Amino acid sequence: MLPRTAEYLGFTSYPPAYLSQDAKGKNLLTGANFASAGSGYYERTAQIYRAITLTQQVAYYKEYQDKVVKMVGKDRANAMFSGGIHLLSAGSSDFIQNYYINPVLNRAYSPDQFSDILMGSFSTFVQNLYGLGVRKIGVTTLPPTGCLPATITLFGGGSNQCVGKLNQDAISFNNKLNTTSQVLQNKLPGLKLVVFDIYHPLLDMVIKPTDQGFFEARKACCGTGTIETSLLCNARSVGTCSNATQYVYWDGYHPSEAANQVIAQDLLEQGFSLIS
């Protein structure tokens, strides 16, 4: 959904993945993508899935800054860092792919306690970016995690309905994210920190899919629609639907391109303060 939001902001291309061959020379002046699939606020989540931790992503960002300074000089580079929009989307993997399936973790912490740990990581991350001259940050909430096809399969007990407990955990996390973000804004002069609500627009699509032009909100387009993820899903996968634009979910965890387009329009309205 974040690339779609970039389109609505008028960008014609996306920043290259920082570790890719494209991330060099003048290409870096349009920004870079430091995200890593399967990563999260909790360092161990990333380690389990061999993803890049947030701590390492910040280290790469510092490395990126050094390269930009060498190309355009310190003053112009600092203006780019402070004026650039930095987007963060994390948390779902921490819960769905770690906490809920990790007996050691969910015995040690309640969902509320685990959320507090994640908030500490989020707060540190924002303060580290602020210390590097960043002044515009957008962060997404958790989606309605109990409505993902994968979580309904894994935790729904045979039901075809959203898992209420998981959605409640997501709401609690999102409330803390909003509160923590407000505290950080008050604490850090000049910081614009916008929390993008993806919970409610996605929940609306799940509850009333036909209102947005969708007909399927429980089963995903790819494969069996249960726990497949994007690495295993493509147009040639066995069972992949032929009409993805009518599905809310592409795979067990991710919204379809058509759903992302609807969400991106919502995010654009929420994020005006980042571009003003």
276 vs 247, residue with greater confidence? 247
What H or E segment, with its residue span, contains residue 234?
Answer: none
For residue 264, the model assigns a pLDDT of: 85
Residue 176, Cβ density class (10 Å: 0-12 exposed, 13-18 middle, ≥19 buried): middle
Predicted pLDDT at 275: 78
pLDDT given at position 226:
47
pLDDT per residue over 173-225, tens digit each? 999 999 999 999 999 999 999 999 999 999 999 999 999 899 999 888 885 54
Q: pTM for this one?
A: 0.90
Instruction: Please state, in angstroms and rounded to a whole number, the distance separating the CA atoms of residues 161 and 156.
Output: 7
Mean pLDDT of all residues in the chain? 89
On whether residue 239 sits in a domain, the answer given is no
pLDDT digits (tens, 9 = 90+) for 92-149: 999 999 999 999 999 999 999 999 999 999 999 999 999 999 999 999 999 999 999 9
Q: Do residues 197 and 239 make contact, with C-beta atoms less than 8 angstroms apart?
A: no
The yes-or-no verdict on residue 228 having pLDDT over 90 is: no
CA–CA separation, 67 and 77 (whole Å):
10
Kindly provide the residue ranges of all beta strands, DSSP E only, lying in 134-225, ordered along the sequence: 136-140, 192-196
The DSSP secondary-structure symbol of 101 reads G
Q: Strand 192-196's sheet: what is its strand order? A: 86-88, 136-140, 192-196
User: What domain range includes position 122?
Assistant: 1-199+259-274
**Does 119 fall in a domain?**
yes
Does residue 225 form part of some domain? no
Band of pLDDT at residue 241, cut at 50, 70 and 90: confident
How many separate domains does the chain show?
A: 1
- Over 70: is that where the pLDDT of 91 sits? yes
Asked if the structure places residue 233 within a domain, the reply is no
Q: Is the pLDDT of residue 158 over 80?
A: yes
pLDDT for position 207: 94
**Which of 115, 125, 237 is CA-nearest to residue 176?**
115
Q: What is the pLDDT of residue 232?
A: 55
Residue 178: what pLDDT?
A: 98
- pLDDT given for residue 254 in this prediction: 87
Domain-embedded: residue 78: yes
The answer to whether 146 touches 167, Cβ cutoff 8 Å, is yes
- Is 253 part of a structural domain of the chain? no
Residue 8 has pLDDT above 80, yes or no: no
Show Cβ contacts of residue 179 under 8 Å, excluding neighbours closer than 6 positions: none
Location of structure tokens 């407000």: 182
Q: Is residue 29 part of a domain?
A: yes
What residue has token string 């993008």? Answer: 196
Under the phi-then-psi rule, with left for phi > 0, alpha for psi from -120 to 50, and beta for the rest, what region is 15?
beta
In terms of C-beta density within 10 A (0-12 exposed, 13-18 middle, 19 or more buried), how is residue 260 classed?
buried
Determine the Cα–Cα distance for residues 216 and 247; give it in Å rounded to an integer.
5
The neighbouring-strand residues paired with 139 are: 88, 195
Distance, CA of 256 to CA of 240 (rounded, Å) = 12
| Alpha carbon distance 83, 6 (integer Å) | 15
Residues 6+ positions from 275 with CB-CB distance below 8 Å: 9, 85
Asked, for residue 235, whether it belongs to a domain, the answer is: no
E strand or H helix at 130, and its extent? helix 111-131
Percentage with pLDDT > 90 across the chain: 72
- Radius of gyration over every alpha carbon of the chain, rounded to an integer in angstroms: 19
Q: Within 13 Å of residue 29, how many CA atoms lie on the same side as its CB?
A: 9
